[in-house]
């Protein structure tokens, strides 16, 4: 994605099922879990580079011994920073106490971060807030082990105001109106309630206070707590939690918007946002890593018992398609194939754009994450070239000479690495013209491979705002003096804001939205903007279930091709000499390529939860009123 956006988060959970001595003997270190957590988080650094956090819990410790450790960082290399802190603390303790070296129980008792249960989180600061207080995991502390709660997730709630008000009605005084805080406090409320009820029940059975504690841990019904907590949540989430006594869970939203995968054997339970992370770190095959069912939670009790419980009734599956197009690591077998298919399915449109002149066309990609789609595009182009060779041979079979046959067979597709991203440019200069000149040099180009009669085809993952295309990529491509520049997006036109964890909150930032507005101005139908605004305002007081997406009317009069043509005009400045055409994937082909991830609200406006419609209408109201605030 040539336009930078803040997006996603990554979670990692590890539960060791054997005593620490087992891992020391088999793998050479009692710090097996810590080491694996580092790898799990590092393999998901693509999901968040603004901050990272780590928490661990020791099981079965004596009163007075610290059993929860947490470290967070918002430094420029947060994962490396937190594990540098962890390793420094461990190594210093071992150096000062050499008697711990071969005694795992002494290590567990005296060295922080060494435990049986671990939670890691990597994040992007979606709201622009990146103070250390906003870095997860968050911790809710209590002297009762069972009431200690550690939470981290990949999520965004659309109804934070409602959740906040619910907490107030429960008698709480939340310190902040943020979805992370409200979610944790909601779970914490029902956790406190469950522990108090169990304590009273166990006391009535004749047990004393000390005897009650392990019985509470045994009887605590995590699934019931989650059902009560998540009852009114509206959003996309993969929510992880640890309880102080050792229970843990990961809950996935009922539409399956956010991803979560798990694997377990007799040694370990592991959960992550991406499948290949688990495959790589633990060397397990694709088929052994399972997806958490939407609306379900994987729950691991302190005694090691694992269950996969339904918490909420699953909705129609609308797993995020951007996971496949761009966010997730392309080393996943399914994602790799899907990204190639995204490129392959674009080939008919590309052939039309270059008048099937593959001989005078150079194919390339930008940025590096578009490389896999590029392979699919090129394979489809090669198939077309092979068909053309076959036709030529058959047409000329009566007069074909060895020289002519060699000439036909020697035709190759021309593929080049045209654009190379330079180190990210940062500057304190605020004057617009100066900044634009700097942005124009984000990419370097390869000179000497493009001829004046050539078409240049560049594939991108997706086009959000179009800023980098307009100010940098198209300008740089035009310096190569091609006949035409064809920019191909493996994603459809992004027309609507996201409200489930990706930072695309403002409609006017989306180039497809701006193109639709321009088309209405040209056709004299711009009054539809006021009509949509009126409908959005009218629905402000409606229950979420009754709210309709009024913004879809903006695009209804136009074909995809009309909007694509207008986008091409908006992103092409007067000084560009080449003919520029921008091509987008169709929604139909997106679904063909990614049949398990049908969440397409970015492109269609068909939000998977009721809160999505409220958010898009609020975003339109903000646009119309000139309010730069967020819609959620």
Summarize pLDDT for 24-51 with one digit per residue, the tens: 999 999 999 999 999 999 999 888 778 9
Is the pLDDT at 89 greater than 80? The verdict is yes
pLDDT value of residue 395: 93
Calculate the alpha carbon distances from 1 to 7, 270, 365, 463 in Å: 12, 30, 11, 7
At residue 309, the 3 state secondary structure works out as strand
Looking at residues 436-444, what average pLDDT do you find? 62
Is the pLDDT at 430 greater than 50? The verdict is no
Domain boundaries, the chain: 10-156+235-317, 323-331+339-625
Per-position DSSP letters for 174-201, written without gaps between them: -S---HHHHHHHHHHHHHHHHHHHHHHH
Is the pLDDT at 440 greater than 70? The verdict is no
pLDDT value of residue 172: 65
Return d(Cα 486, Cα 157) in angstroms, integer: 38
- Residue that has been written with the tokens 């040694």 in this structure: 267
The answer to whether 271 touches 182, Cβ cutoff 8 Å, is no
Pairing of strands 414-415, 361-365: parallel
Is the pLDDT at 295 greater than 70? The verdict is yes
pLDDT value of residue 71: 97
- How many residues in total does the chain contain? 632
Looking at residues 352-365, what average pLDDT do you find? 93
Whole-number mean pLDDT of the chain? 91
Looking at residues 146-156, what average pLDDT do you find? 93
At 606, the pLDDT band (50, 70, 90 cuts) reads very high
pLDDT value of residue 418: 86
Task: Tell me which of 239-253, 357-371, 583-597 is least confident.
Answer: 357-371
At residue 420, the 3 state secondary structure works out as strand
The answer to whether 78 touches 98, Cβ cutoff 8 Å, is no
The answer to whether 296 touches 310, Cβ cutoff 8 Å, is yes
pLDDT value of residue 438: 56
Is the pLDDT at 469 greater than 50? The verdict is yes
Burial of 428 (0-12, 13-18, 19+ CB in 10 A): exposed
Summarize pLDDT for 493-515 with one digit per residue, the tens: 999 999 998 878 789 999 999 99
At 432, the pLDDT band (50, 70, 90 cuts) reads very low
pTM > 0.95: yes or no? no
Return d(Cα 236, Cα 255) in angstroms, integer: 8
Strand order in the sheet with 149-157: 138-140, 149-157, 235-243, 248-252, 296-300, 306-310
Does the CA dihedral 565-571-576-580 come out positive or negative?
negative
Summarize pLDDT for 308-353 with one digit per residue, the tens: 999 999 999 999 998 888 888 888 999 999 999 999 999 999 999 9
At 428, the pLDDT band (50, 70, 90 cuts) reads very low
Looking at residues 78-102, what average pLDDT do you find? 95
At 631, the pLDDT band (50, 70, 90 cuts) reads confident
Is the pLDDT at 303 greater than 80? The verdict is yes
CATH numeric code, 10-156+235-317 = 3.60.20.10
At 427, the pLDDT band (50, 70, 90 cuts) reads very low
First to last CA, the chain: 24
Is the pLDDT at 112 greater than 80? The verdict is yes
Looking at domain 323-331+339-625, its CATH architecture is: 3-Layer(aba) Sandwich (3.40)
Q: How many C-beta atoms lie closer than 10 Å to residue 362's C-beta?
A: 20
At 429, the pLDDT band (50, 70, 90 cuts) reads very low
Return d(Cα 611, Cα 609) in angstroms, integer: 5
Return d(Cα 55, Cα 360) in angstroms, integer: 57
């Amino acid at each position: 994605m040539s336009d930078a956006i803040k997006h996603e988060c990554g979670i990692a959970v590890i539960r060791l099922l054997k005593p620490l001595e087992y891992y020391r003997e088999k793998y050479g270190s009692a710090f097996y879990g810590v080491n694996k957590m580092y790898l799990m988080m590092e393999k998901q650094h693509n999901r968040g580079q603004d901050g990272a956090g780590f928490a661990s819990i020791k099981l079965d410790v004596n009163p007075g011994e610290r059993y929860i450790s947490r470290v967070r960082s918002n430094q420029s290399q947060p994962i490396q920073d937190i594990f540098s802190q962890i390793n420094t603390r461990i190594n210093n303790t071992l150096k000062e106490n050499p008697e711990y070296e071969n005694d795992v129980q002494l290590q567990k008792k005296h060295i922080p971060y060494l435990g049986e249960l671990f939670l890691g989180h990597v994040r992007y600061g979606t709201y622009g807030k990146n103070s250390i207080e906003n870095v997860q995991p968050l911790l809710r502390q209590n002297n009762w082990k069972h009431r200690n709660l550690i939470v981290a997730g990949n999520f965004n709630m659309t109804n934070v105001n409602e959740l906040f008000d619910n907490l107030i009605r429960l008698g709480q005084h939340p310190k902040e109106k943020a979805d992370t805080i409200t979610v944790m406090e909601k779970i914490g409320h029902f956790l406190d309630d469950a522990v108090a009820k169990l304590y009273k029940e166990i006391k009535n059975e004749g047990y004393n206070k000390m005897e009650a504690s392990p019985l509470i841990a045994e009887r605590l019904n995590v699934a019931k707590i989650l059902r009560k907590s998540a009852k009114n949540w509206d959003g996309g989430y993969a929510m992880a939690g640890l309880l102080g006594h050792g229970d843990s869970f990961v809950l996935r939203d009922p539409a399956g918007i956010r991803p979560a995968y798990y694997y377990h054997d007799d040694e370990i339970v592991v959960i992550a946002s991406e499948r290949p992370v688990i495959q790589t770190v633990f060397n397990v095959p694709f088929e052994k890593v399972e997806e958490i069912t939407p609306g379900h939670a994987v729950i691991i009790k302190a005694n090691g018992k694992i269950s996969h419980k339904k918490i909420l009734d699953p909705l129609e599956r609308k797993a995020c398609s951007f996971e496949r197009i761009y966010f997730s690591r392309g080393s996943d077998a399914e994602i790799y194939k899907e990204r190639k298919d995204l490129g392959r399915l674009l080939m008919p449109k590309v052939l039309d754009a270059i008048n099937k002149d593959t001989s005078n066309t150079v194919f390339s990609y930008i940025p590096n994450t578009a490389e896999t789609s590029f392979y699919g595009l090129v394979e489809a182009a090669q198939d077309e070239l092979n068909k053309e060779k076959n036709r030529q041979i058959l047409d000329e079979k009566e007069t074909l000479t060895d020289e002519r046959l060699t000439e036909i067979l020697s035709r190759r597709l021309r593929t080049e690495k045209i654009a190379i991203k330079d180190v990210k440019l940062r500057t304190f200069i605020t004057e617009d013209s100066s900044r634009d000149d700097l942005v124009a040099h984000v990419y370097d180009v390869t000179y000497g491979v493009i001829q004046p009669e050539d078409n240049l085809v560049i594939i991108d993952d997706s086009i959000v705002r179009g800023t980098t295309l307009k100010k940098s990529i198209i300008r740089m491509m035009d310096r190569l003096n091609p006949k035409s520049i064809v920019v191909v997006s493996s994603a459809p036109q992004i027309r609507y804001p996201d409200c489930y964890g990706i930072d695309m909150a403002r409609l006017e930032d989306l180039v497809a939205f701006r193109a639709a507005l321009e088309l209405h101005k040209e056709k004299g139908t711009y009054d539809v903007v006021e009509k949509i605004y009126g409908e959005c305002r009218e629905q402000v007081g409606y229950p979420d279930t009754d709210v309709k997406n009024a913004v879809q009317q903006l695009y209804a009069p136009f074909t995809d091709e009309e909007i694509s043509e207008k986008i091409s005009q908006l992103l092409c400045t007067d000084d560009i000499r080449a003919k520029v055409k921008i091509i987008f994937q169709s929604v139909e082909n997106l679904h063909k390529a990614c049949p398990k991830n049908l969440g397409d609200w970015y492109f269609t406006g068909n939000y998977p939860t009721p809160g999505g419609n409220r958010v898009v209408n609020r975003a339109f109201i903000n646009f119309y009123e000139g309010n730069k605030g967020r819609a959620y």
